[in-house]
C-alpha cells in the first residue's frame, strides 16, 4: 500500500451564502457569521419556511458570457464559476497538461430546477411550440462537468455522481479513486446546487423537513442543539482540485492537505430517514479511516453532515461513537458549518470539504453556531459558537443522503 499514488488538494473554488471567494468565505466562517436570511429570490410568503442560505454576492458576468448564461441553469452558473476559481487558485495552466489525464467529477443533487419550472409554466401558458431547444441540456446534471470540460478542453473521465446530499462528497471520493488507479493526474471535483426556488423550497416544506424559525433566520440552523426544528435550505457550489502528489510537487503547487481516504455505504433502511442505529454512517467512517491508514485516535476533527434535524443529528452522533469508539469520539471536535450556510444539498460536500482543507491548512476548526441548549442524545464536543485554533492531524467529512447514501472522506495534514 505504501507505493500507491497519493492525492492532494491544490485548489479551491467557492460560491456560498457567506461569500464567493475563499478568503471571504473562510473569514466569515471562523467568525461564526450566519448567511441565512429571508428568501428574496421569489415570493415565499405562502410557504411554511421562508428562509434560506441564498447566494447574494455572486457576479455571474465575471465568469460566463451573457450568451452562454442564457444556455445554462443557475446550478451550472455556480459550478462553472467555482471550477474557474479552483483552477486559478491551483495555478493550473492546462496548455501544459495532457488533456486526457485531467478529469471532471462535478455534480448536483437535483440539477436544473429553475429551467424545469420556467419551461413548465411556459408550456401551460403558451403551448408546446414554446419549449426551448436548450431545455434538456440546461436541466441535466451531467451538463455541469461537460461544460467545465468544454471550457478548459479537458478530455479525461467526465461524469456526474448523484446521491442527493452525499453527491459532492461522493464526487470528491471518486476523484481520489481516479488519481489512485492512474487514470488521471488532476481531477476537478465537487458539487453545485441552485434549489432556492419555488419547487425546491416547496418540496422540502411538504416533507416538513425545513426550519420554520422564520422570524429569526440567523438562529434557525442549529445543529445538535436541543431546540433544532429542521434544516435551512441553501445554494452554491464547491469545487476542489484533486491532484496526484508527485505531479503537484513537480510543478511547485501550493498544497492545502492530503485527500487520504474514502468510505461509502448504504443504510438500506428508508428513503429519507437515516438508519436509527447509525450503522451505515459509522461503517463509511471506518472505511475512510482504514483507507487513509488513520486510527480513530488520530482524528482531530469531524466536519459533520449536521443538518439541524432531530433525527439526523442524533443518528450521526451515534455513528461517530460507533466508528471511533467512545473515548476517541469524545476527544474529537465535531462541527457543522450548515449552522452558518444552511444545507447546500448536492453542493454541501464540495463546500464543506473545502472548509476541511482550510481548517487543516490554517489550524482552525470552524464552530457550530446557535448551539445554546445541549441535547442529552447529542453529547459530543460540537465546538459551540466559537472557532478553535488547533493543529489538525486528520479530519473526517461526513455526508448522508436521502436513499441511505453515506459518504466519508478523510483529509490529512501533509
CA 289 distance to own-chain centroid: 20
Q: Which residue segments constitute the domains of the chain, with CATH numbers given?
A: 7-250 (3.40.47.10), 262-412 (3.40.47.10)
What is the overall mean pLDDT for the chain?
97
Per-residue pLDDT tens for 176-201? 999 999 999 999 999 999 999 999 99
Cβ-Cβ contacts under 8 Å for 166 (sequence gap 6 or more) = 264, 349, 399, 400, 401, 405, 406, 407
Per-residue pLDDT tens for 227-246? 999 999 999 999 999 999 99
* Residue 236 near residue 192 (C-beta atoms within 8 A): yes
Please tell me what DSSP assigns to residue 386.
Answer: S
User: What whole-number distance in Å separates Cα of residue 105 and Cα of residue 407?
Assistant: 15
Per-residue pLDDT tens for 344-374? 999 999 999 999 999 999 999 999 999 999 9
Q: What is the pTM of this model?
A: 0.97
Looking at residue 1, its pLDDT comes to 46
Q: What is the mean predicted confidence (pLDDT) over 285-291?
A: 98
Any idea which residues carry the catalytic annotation? 165, 305, 343
Strand partners, 334: 302
User: What whole-number distance in Å separates Cα of residue 346 and Cα of residue 204?
Assistant: 14
Question: Could you tell me which of 243, 191, 196 has the C-alpha nearest to residue 80?
Answer: 191
Residue 267 has pLDDT above 60, yes or no: yes
Amino acid at each position: 500500500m505504501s507505493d500507491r499514488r497519493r492525492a492532494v488538494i491544490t485548489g479551491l473554488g467557492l460560491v456560498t451564502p457567506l461569500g464567493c471567494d475563499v478568503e471571504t468565505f473562510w473569514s466569515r466562517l471562523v467568525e461564526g457569521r450566519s448567511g441565512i436570511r429571508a428568501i428574496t429570490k421569489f415570493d415565499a410568503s405562502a410557504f411554511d419556511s421562508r428562509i434560506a442560505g441564498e447566494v447574494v454576492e455572486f457576479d455571474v458576468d465575471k465568469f460566463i458570457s451573457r450568451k452562454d448564461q442564457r444556455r445554462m441553469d443557475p446550478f451550472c452558473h455556480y459550478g462553472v464559476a467555482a471550477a474557474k476559481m479552483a483552477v486559478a487558485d491551483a495555478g493550473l495552466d492546462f496548455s501544459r497538461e495532457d488533456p486526457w489525464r485531467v478529469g471532471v467529477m462535478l455534480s448536483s443533487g437535483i440539477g436544473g430546477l429553475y429551467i424545469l419550472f420556467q419551461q413548465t409554466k411556459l408550456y401551460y401558458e403558451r403551448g408546446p411550440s414554446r419549449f426551448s431547444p436548450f431545455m434538456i441540456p440546461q436541466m441535466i446534471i451531467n451538463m455541469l462537468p461537460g461544460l467545465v470540460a468544454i471550457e478548459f478542453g479537458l478530455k479525461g473521465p467526465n461524469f456526474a455522481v448523484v446521491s442527493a446530499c452525499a453527491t459532492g462528497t461522493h464526487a470528491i471520493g471518486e476523484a481520489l479513486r481516479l488519481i489512485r488507479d492512474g487514470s488521471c493526474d488532476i481531477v476537478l471535483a465537487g458539487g453545485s446546487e441552485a434549489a432556492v426556488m419555488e419547487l425546491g423550497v416547496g418540496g422540502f416544506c411538504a416533507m416538513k423537513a425545513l426550519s420554520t424559525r422564520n422570524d429569526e433566520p440567523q438562529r434557525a440552523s442549529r445543529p445538535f442543539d436541543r431546540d433544532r426544528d429542521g434544516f435551512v435550505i441553501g445554494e452554491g457550489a464547491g469545487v476542489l482540485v484533486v491532484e496526484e502528489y508527485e505531479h503537484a510537487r513537480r510543478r511547485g503547487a501550493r498544497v492545502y492537505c492530503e485527500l487520504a481516504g474514502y468510505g461509502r455505504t448504504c443504510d438500506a433502511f428508508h428513503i429519507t430517514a437515516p438508519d436509527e442505529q447509525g450503522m451505515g454512517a459509522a461503517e463509511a467512517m471506518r472505511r475512510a479511516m482504514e483507507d487513509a491508514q488513520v486510527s480513530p485516535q488520530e482524528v482531530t476533527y469531524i466536519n459533520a453532515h449536521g443538518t439541524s434535524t432531530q433525527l439526523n443529528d442524533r443518528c450521526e452522533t451515534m455513528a461517530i461513537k460507533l466508528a471511533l469508539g467512545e473515548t476517541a469520539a469524545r476527544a474529537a471536535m465535531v462541527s457543522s458549518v450548515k449552522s452558518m450556510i444552511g444545507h447546500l444539498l448536492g453542493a454541501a460536500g464540495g463546500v464543506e470539504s473545502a472548509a476541511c482543507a482550510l481548517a487543516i491548512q490554517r489550524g482552525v476548526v470552524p464552530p457550530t453556531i446557535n448551539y445554546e441548549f445541549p441535547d442529552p442524545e447529542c453529547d459530543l464536543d460540537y465546538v459551540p459558537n466559537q472557532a478553535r485554533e488547533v493543529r489538525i492531524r486528520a479530519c473526517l467529512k461526513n455526508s448522508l443522503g436521502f436513499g441511505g447514501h453515506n459518504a466519508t472522506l478523510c483529509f490529512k495534514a501533509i
